[in-house]
Structure 1
Amino acid sequence: MRTAKICLAGAAAAAMVGFLATPAAAAPTDTTDTTFEVLAGTLDVVAPAAADLGTGAVGGTITGQLGSVTVDDSRASDDASWTATVTASVFQAGTGSPTETVLPEEINYWSGVASATTGTGTFTPGQAAAGDAAPLSSTTPLTAFTHAGGTGGNTATWNPTLVVNVPLDSVAGTYTGTVTHSVA
């Protein structure tokens, strides 16, 4: 009988240890604080850092392409419209005084059609063909390309042509100026 009491006491102790070691029940729900960041998109234009249009004679024309110009619209807007414009500085030869100049109005610009586009909407060149070329200005922006409508992101790339109408009073030299593309 003594063996039965010891066994019974041992079984009761083992049951108590098992009861105390049972894991707590899990909660039926739990929460996690979660964050993320939405970045604002941008509207950018990228143009070549430099271009050489070539050579030409006094009273003639110098024609050359500027290189690829790209508008990248990552604003993801409901109305992804934009207008790219172009202006130019006075082109100067020499560094002394007086310097020789070619005015921006003596340089015609034509965008040509897009070489690549992405996204929805309507892409329209400012000057689709050589016959549409228009003079540049240092003060009045010339429309280079537009995008109308569409939603979300889009891009357009074109390779504009410049035609320098070399004035009869120009002197020999290398003329340097700046062509500036902007987008809004």
Structure 2
Amino acid sequence: MRTAKTCLAAAAAAAMVGFLAAPAAAAPDDTTTTTFEVLAGTLDVVAPTTADLGSGAPGGTITGQLGDVTVTDSRASDDASWTASVTATVFQAGGGSPAETVLPEEIDYWSGAATATSGNGTFTPGQATAGDAAALSSGTQLTAFTHSGGTGGNSATWNPALVVNVPLDSIAGVYTGTVTHSVA
């Protein structure tokens, strides 16, 4: 009997070692908490460096396009609204006498519709049609384009037209001035 108890105890010990040595069962799934960061960027406007609107006679008009103006909003904001504005300096030729000067108020700006947009929200031209063209000013900003609502990044591109109402007393020459777009 003692032998039977010893054999039984040995068998139980062997079974226990087998049980303890068995590999642990794997969980059916496991999770990893993962993070990343979306960085806030900037609000920028890019306009052509130069533009040639063409030529015309005193008392007439000169109409030409400025070239693509693009606002890019990468601020990653929950309110991605912005307003692009435009101003101009006096345009002068030669020595800048009164007859060699065209005031910004004699130049109309027409943004027209966007040629490209990205992102969500509402994109609105400052002057949707030629009939909406408005005079530039050296002291007051004219709204060129707006974006309202939306979230995250967005962009808009337009190709504005300028209409120069050439004063009747203007003299011949190449007139130079600056058109400045800004965005906020």
Which TM-score applies when normalising by structure 1?
0.78
Shift of 1:47: 0.1
Shift of 1:97: 5.9
Q: Percent identity?
A: 83
Q: What is the aligned partner in structure 2 of residue 175 from structure 1? A: 175
SS of match in other structure, 2:164? strand
In the TM superposition, 1:110-129 aligns within 5 A as 110-129=110-129
Which TM-score applies when normalising by structure 2?
0.78
In the TM superposition, 1:1-184 aligns within 5 A as 39-94=39-94, 96=95, 98=97, 100-184=100-184
Question: Residues 44-100 of structure 1: CA distance to partner in whole angstroms, max 9, x if unpaired?
Answer: 000000000000000000000000000000001000000000000000001x36361
Matches of 1:140 and 1:148 in 2, distance apart?
22
Letter in structure 1 aligned against 2:97: P
Matched length: 149
Letter in structure 1 aligned against 2:151: T
Question: Residues 138-174 of structure 1: CA distance to partner in whole angstroms, max 9, x if unpaired?
Answer: 1100000000000000000000000000001100000
Matches of 1:131 and 1:149 in 2, distance apart?
27
Matches of 1:50 and 1:93 in 2, distance apart?
16
Matches of 1:127 and 1:97 in 2, distance apart?
31
Contact 2:106 / 2:166 at 8 angstroms: preserved in 1? yes
Matches of 1:125 and 1:97 in 2, distance apart?
34
Contact 2:85 / 2:142 at 8 angstroms: preserved in 1? yes
Shift of 1:40: 3.1
Change (3 A) 1:72 1:142: same
Question: Residues 86-137 of structure 1: CA distance to partner in whole angstroms, max 9, x if unpaired?
Answer: 000000001x363611000000000000000000000000000000000000
SS of match in other structure, 1:40? coil
Shift of 1:38: 6.0
User: Pairwise CA RMSD of aligned residues?
Assistant: 1.6
